[in-house]
Amino acid sequence: MTDTLTPVLSANWGTEKSWTLEAYAATGGYQAVGTALKMTPAEVTDLVKESGLRGRGGAGFPTGMKWSFVPKDNPNPKYLVVNADESEPGTCKDMPLLLASPHTLVEGMIIASYAIDCHTAFVYIRGEVLHVIRRMQQAVQEAYDAGYLGTNILGSGYDLDIVVHAGAGAYICGEETALLDSLEGRRGQPRLRPPFPAVAGLYASPTVINNVESISSVPAIVKNGSAWFGSMGSEKSKGMTIYSLSGHVNRPGQFEAPLGITLRQLLQLSGGVRAGHELKFWTPGGSSTPILTAEHLDVPLDYEGMGGVGSMLGTKALQVFDETTSVVRTTLRWVEFYKHESCGKCTPCREGNWWLVQLLKKFEAGQAVEGDVDKLLDICDDIGGKSFCALADGAVACVTSAVRHFRSEFEAGYSTPAWELFPYGRSALFEVPEKTEVHA
């Protein structure tokens, strides 16, 4: 395992006007399309399978295998849908990627679409990030103009259209079946499975849904080969990936490194926790992955490593919190997010998160009573694993892991407001007046 940065996806981010086709092509962009279109679709799929690329959206499902699930004998059109609805608190990798190098995704989409025999592909972009939507639209237009999209791409006889679709601002639409409903013009709520999207997805047709980063990794694999890709990373988590660091670190941002790097290494690369403070807790992959503490600094940041310590790699969004931070308050903020973003379809998520927020506010205000920690955990148990989709599982993961590591801090909520134990101004990176009372 190497401990250096391995910029591949981010290699061209620093070039002048990196988002233009001209700049992208100047750094070798769109070469992989030519290579892929000379291969058979099955060969492209096999190549991605061999590379060991796993989904970068959080679940880590092998990308090539997902492509191979598309039934060949289904008479309906096949669709590729790229999930760019990046909304998880702390996660910030797809948006910078699309802002800096949208053509990487366009090129990846052409190759992936070719591999699954798709002629209309969609990018579903989070609606709030208008600048990214515009940049993506521009890139798609440039690709059409250059003959990378449209009919008879590069004289290969292969046709592809890409539709850039803006979401309307709902976290749930990052859940792949809710995304499909939203893309079809319905209210975004998760669908019952089976049928799975590979069989009956968008417009009841075979559909592959991949994360931006997964598809963007494909051109590099085609260009450099599966062995090159597999040479990076750990045994079961191959390749490079983008880690995004935020919070109490000196130089937050995106760090592209092989899978299996540790937080200790990443902290070194990002200048460490802010001066005079020490790491208290962190998330490995956004707020829905159980939090970890300083004792996990040396655990490899790959699918297996994180699973081994009761968390998940998720989106590799590392939110770092130092000792000034109230874990109770942080948990409350996260759960408020999930309460707001619950789609309302199923009972435990809709009602449970609504209740958890009220309970956590009592903890924050020091108004919880003896036994409320157990009640909190019991409510989490009634939510977790019972909901229709994974949103609620993510919501309770931050609560249960916070109690696991910092139970006494929650118990302090039986008597003392969190803002007295952890004056909120101290954890801010800017001047704020001291909070003296509860605010909602």
Partner 1 sequence: MSVQTKADQVAPVDLITVTIDGVEVQVPKGTLAIRAAEMIGIAIPRFCDHPLLDPVGACRQCMVEVPDAGNGRGFPKPQASCTLECAPGMQIKTQHTSDVARKAQKGMLEFLLINHPLDCPICDKGGECPLQNQAMANGQGESRYEGVKRTFPKPVAISAQILLDRERCVLCARCTRFSEQISGDPFIALVERGALQQVGRYADDPYNSYFSGNVVQICPVGALTSAAYRFQSRPFDLVSTTTTCEHCAGGCQLRTDQRHFQVKRRLAGEAPEVNEEWNCDKGRFAFVSARGEDRITRPLIREDGALRVASWPEAVDAAVAGLAAAGGSAGVLTGGRLTLEDAYGYSKFARVVLGTNSIDFRSRPAGADEEAFLAANVAGKSLAGAVTYTDLETAGHVVLVGFEPEDESPLIFLRLRKGVRKKGLKVTTIAPFASDGSAKLNATVVATVPGAEVAALRGLGLAAGNVLLVGERAALVPGLLAAAAEVAETTGARLAWVPRRAGDRGAVEAGCLPGLLPGGRPATDTAARVDVAAAWEVDSLPAEDGMDATGMLAAAAAGELKALVVAGLEPVDFADAAAVRAGLENAGFVVALESRLSEVTERADVVFPVALIEEHPGTFLNWEHRPGRVNTVIPQSAAPMTDLRVLAALADALGRPLGVRTPKQALAELTELGTWTDPAGVADARPAEPVRKSRTRTVAPKVPKVTDGEAIVKLATWRQLIDGGRGQDGEGALADTARPSLARVSPALAQALGVAEGDAVAVSGGSGWYSLPVAITPGMVEGAVWVPTNSPGTPLGELGVVFGDEVTLSVGGEE
# residues contacting partner 1 (CB under 8 A): 31
Single residue of 31, 224, 246, 347 touching partner 1 by CB under 8 A: 347
Our measurement of the distance from residue 196's CA atom to the centroid of its chain's CA atoms, rounded to an integer in Å, reads 21
- Indicate which single residue of 38, 131, 251, 340 sits in contact with partner 1 (rule: CB under 8 A): 340
By CB under 8 A, tell whether 355 contacts partner 1: yes
Which tokens in the block code for residue 69? 């699930």
Q: How far is the CB of 187 from partner 1 (least distance, A)?
A: 7
134 sits near partner 1 (criterion: CB under 8 A) = no
Those residues with Cβ within 8 angstroms of residue 6's Cβ, 6 or more apart along the chain or in another chain: 232, 240, 256, 257, 258
Residue 235 in tokens: 């045994």
For 24, the token pair is 């992208």
Residue among 55, 100, 72 at smallest CA distance from 218: 55
How far is residue 182's CA from residue 168's CA, in Å, rounded to a whole number?
Answer: 9
Collapsing DSSP states into helix, strand and coil, what is residue 170? coil
If the CB atoms of residues 46 and 393 are measured against partner 1, the closer one turns out to be 393
Closest to partner 1 by CB, 375 vs 439, is 375
- Of 68 and 387, nearer to partner 1 (C-beta) is 387
DSSP class of residue 62 equals B
Question: Of the candidates 343, 402, 403, 418, which one interacts with partner 1 according to CB under 8 A?
Answer: 343
CA distances (Å), 406 to each of 234, 292, 411, in order? 31, 11, 9
Contact with partner 1 (CB under 8 A) among 350, 423, 435, 438: 350
Q: What are residue 423's phi and psi, to 5 degrees?
A: -50, 125
Residues 173-212: x where in contact with partner 1 by CB under 8 A, - otherwise, as a string = --------------x----x--------------------
Q: Find the binding residues for partner 1 in span 381-400 (CB under 8 A).
A: 381-383, 385-388
Nearest residue to 222 via CA among 27, 29, 36, 28: 36
Of 351, 411, 426, 438, which one interacts with partner 1 (CB under 8 A)?
A: 351
Applying CB under 8 A, the span of 153-161, 284-292, 350-358, 423-431 interacting with partner 1 comes to 350-358
Q: According to the binding rule CB under 8 A, does residue 333 interact with partner 1?
A: no
334 binds partner 1 (CB under 8 A): no
Among the listed ranges 16-24, 141-149, 374-382, 418-426, the one in contact with partner 1 (CB under 8 A) is 374-382
> Apex CA 90: angle with CA 431 and CA 24, to 5°?
110
For partner 1, give the closer residue by CB, 119 or 350: 350
| CA-angle at 179, arms to 112 and 336, nearest 5° | 130
Contacting partner 1 within 258-277 (CB under 8 A):
none
- Identity of the residue, 132 or 383, whose beta carbon is nearer to partner 1 in the bound complex: 383
What is the per-residue burial (b if ≥16 Cβ within 10 Å, else e) of 410-426? bbbbbeebbbeebbbee
Among 72, 251, 375, 407, binds partner 1 (CB under 8 A): 375
Summarize as ranges the residues that interact with partner 1 (CB under 8 A): 170, 172, 187, 192, 339-348, 350-355, 358, 375, 378-379, 381-383, 385-388
